[in-house]
Amino acid sequence: MNRRARRASASTARQGRAVGGGGAPESPSTQLHRAVSEAGRRTTAGILSGSRTVEGVYEVVERAAALGDAFMERSPTDPSLLACKKGCSTCCSRPVGTTAPSVFRLAAWLRERLRPDELAEVLRRVAALDDVTHGKTWTPRERAPNPCALLVDGVCSVYEVRPFTCRAWNAVDVEECKRALGQEWTAMRFDLYQRTTYAGVEDGVKLALTDVGLDGGDLELTASLRVALERPDACEAWLAGEPVFAGCEAKLPESQRRRLPIAQ
């Protein structure tokens, strides 16, 4: 292991150390998650409590992304310690969990920037992947790795509006990341600050959606994006309480499910 990898590994271990017995102080990662989640929750609830509009839903995602980016500016991690760079798309073959606002913003972004024939091609790729993966539990046995339908020549074509799960993912060593692909669990070094920040952002959005009476459940990206692209009025219907994403829920195995670690 080289010096940089050792430093990143040690930093990750310090940030991720479990909290001890009762009364022990929160770990730095727990404190970070709480701060980001609560900020995201307040911001999202403030937007949607005032006006439940399509534009408000898009603003939720944009403000949440800005919040996460602002916290990342305080990151103690040297970015050069991470293996992630343009052209590396190993993690883009993993299932991606997201929320309805992120899906709607992504679909709108595609409609704004693509010609009709280009949008039709994206929908074709999304539908083809969904036909293979729809409803499958996220285990290597049931759902083998499949490249994201939004990859173009190995590069994310929607990087600007990629889901928070994608923003969170990182690795110290690309070979460790490749070995982890297709395995339910494996040891892999990563920057916990980055993962915690964007997980906290999304958890705050989920809690706020629940606060205002909207569906904040985890969705599978491919299935839900297919719905949002095929149905132009999907956001309005979702705001009205229609279960437009029924059947698109994320299918995490029991061992990977978690509860939001801040007060409801």
Alpha carbons 260 and 255: distance in angstroms, whole number: 15
Predicted model pTM: 0.87
Alpha carbons 145 and 113: distance in angstroms, whole number: 28
For the chain, strand residue ranges (E) read: 97-98, 151-152, 155-156, 219-220
Mean pLDDT of 193-218: 97
Look at residue 2 and tell me whether its pLDDT is greater than 50.
no
- Structure tokens belonging to residue 25: 């102080």
pLDDT, mean over the chain: 88
- The predicted-structure confidence for 169-200, as pLDDT tens digits, reads as follows 999 999 999 988 877 667 789 999 999 999 99
Alpha carbons 251 and 139: distance in angstroms, whole number: 9
Percent of the chain with pLDDT over 70: 86
Q: How sure is the predictor about 25, in pLDDT bands with cuts at 50, 70 and 90?
A: confident
- The predicted-structure confidence for 222-252, as pLDDT tens digits, reads as follows 999 999 999 999 999 999 999 999 999 999 8
Phi/psi of residue 249, nearest 5 degrees: -65, 150
End-to-end CA distance of the chain: 42
| Three-state secondary-structure class, residue 112 | helix
Q: Token pair 């029991």 is at which residue?
A: 254
Percent of the chain with pLDDT over 90: 77
